[in-house]
């Protein structure tokens, strides 16, 4: 069954209900999972909405499929096109595949290969264009003008907003005692939809957006009273690194969002690590900002029923490796020492023997002889090793001191 769609303004609650009907049997109704660990960390009752388990690994497919289902047969025949370096691309490609519609996706040339492969895997034609998202978007508009393909915007579209709003319906159906919902905030499509849905069902629910410190486009726009463009952005949460909110999404944020919190990259990385370590949930940096905000502002949510939306799980593997390394070192489960030893046979073995005797599992060893800070006849050895507990490092340091080794624990 096709549902007729015609909206030129911000969608209403009834539009989100209709979007839910279109999405039935197509997307997953993701879990609303209670977390004992994060409830204890924050002093609140935490129920995580796990959109990282959604088809394509993020919430984006909800809006993309709803948008495509709202196109006419003539528009579908001309195909669709979008610009994206990540989750929106995969959402559009997947939706187009389900509806047997031709999809073209423009991506910046520096898009990680795995994201390109995933998008192609859903059947879309991928074109790498320009150094930035803006370059890819310009190419998208030219392609649309030339071919007649419909541009599927990542957030500033009423059908996209209505599709994302189905998350709010699912949250309320799973737990109607929710008091606060924390939502990652980039372009604003998801928070706009969720806010419209939940405020209709319970106006007292607080809707709180979370921006990355290096990409505060919504906060900057609210201060100016209109959507304004950031000059630059810098954050590991690339999924919410949007220079300017949309006209429609800005209107929804202004009307329905109670507050916007900000988290920095260190807090985002720590939240990513904790989710994986304590909850066994793999999420991307943009997907964990709600958890990061909950941990940073725990006093604001003490004793309340809180839903952080985990919006996606498509993380770059190289970045994940860095986050895990940093997290293990912060928790005292991994350490790195630099030891200056004579460049002679047996010296390195003596250090390894100490580590083995004290049950430290060596992860990596590197040598440096050529820098001016290393005296002639010596070698600087850097050893990374895993620990069973943080106190174990003190025991290792005492043992190294006993052997008169010149060493430094690296942070």
The string of pLDDT tens digits covering residues 257-285 is 999 999 999 999 999 999 999 999 999 99
Q: What is the pTM of this model?
A: 0.90
Indicate whether 297 pLDDT > 80.
Answer: yes
pLDDT in tens, 56-72: 999 999 999 999 999 99
Rg (the chain; Cα; Å): 25
Confidence (pLDDT) at 370: 80
* pLDDT tier for residue 303 given thresholds of 50, 70 and 90: very high
Domains of the chain: 13-58+161-324 (3.40.50.1100), 60-151 (3.40.50.1100), 332-410 (3.30.70.260)
Confidence (pLDDT) at 135: 86
Indicate whether 90 pLDDT > 60.
Answer: yes
Confidence (pLDDT) at 8: 65
């Amino acid at each position: 069954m096709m549902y007729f769609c015609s909206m030129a303004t911000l969608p209403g609650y009834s539009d989100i209900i209709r979007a839910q009907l279109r999405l039935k049997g197509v997307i997953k109704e993701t879990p609303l999972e209670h977390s004992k660990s994060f409830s204890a960390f924050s002093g609140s009752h935490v129920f995580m909405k796990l959109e990282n388990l959604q088809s394509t690994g993020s919430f984006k497919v909800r809006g993309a499929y709803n948008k495509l289902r709202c196109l006419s047969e003539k528009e579908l025949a001309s195909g669709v096109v979008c610009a994206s370096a990540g989750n929106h691309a995969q959402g559009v490609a997947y939706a187009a595949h389900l509806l047997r519609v031709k999809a073209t996706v423009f991506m910046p040339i520096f898009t990680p290969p795995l994201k390109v492969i995933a998008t192609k895997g859903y059947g879309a034609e991928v074109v790498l264009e320009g150094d930035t998202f803006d370059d890819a978007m310009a190419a998208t508009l030219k392609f649309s003008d030339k071919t007649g393909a419909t541009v599927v915007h990542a957030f500033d579209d009423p059908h996209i907003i209505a599709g994302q709003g189905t998350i709010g319906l699912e949250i309320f159906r799973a737990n109607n005692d929710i008091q606060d919902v924390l939502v990652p905030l980039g372009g604003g499509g998801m928070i706009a939809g969720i806010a419209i849905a939940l405020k209709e069902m319970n106006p007292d629910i607080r809707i709180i957006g979370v921006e990355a410190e290096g990409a505060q486009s919504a906060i900057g726009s609210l201060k100016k009273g209109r959507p304004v463009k950031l000059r630059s952005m810098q954050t590991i949460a690339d999924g919410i690194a949007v220079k300017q909110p949309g006209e429609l999404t800005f209107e929804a944020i202004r009307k329905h969002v109670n507050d916007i919190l900000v988290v920095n990259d260190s807090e985002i990385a720590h939240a990513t690590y904790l989710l994986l370590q304590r909850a066994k949930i793999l999420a991307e940096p943009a997907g964990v900002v709600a958890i990061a905000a909950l941990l940073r502002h725990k006093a604001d949510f003490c004793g309340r029923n809180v839903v952080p939306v985990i919006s996606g799980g498509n993380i770059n593997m190289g970045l994940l490796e860095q986050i895990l390394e940093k997290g293990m070192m912060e928790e005292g489960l991994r350490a790195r020492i630099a030891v200056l030893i004579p460049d002679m046979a047996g010296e390195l073995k003596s250090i390894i023997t100490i580590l083995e005797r004290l049950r430290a599992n060596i992860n990596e060893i590197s040598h440096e002889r050529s820098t001016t800070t290393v005296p002639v006849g010596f070698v600087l050895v850097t050893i990374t090793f895993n620990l069973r507990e943080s106190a174990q490092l003190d025991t290792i340091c005492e043992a190294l001191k006993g052997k008169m080794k010149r060493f430094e624990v690296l942070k």
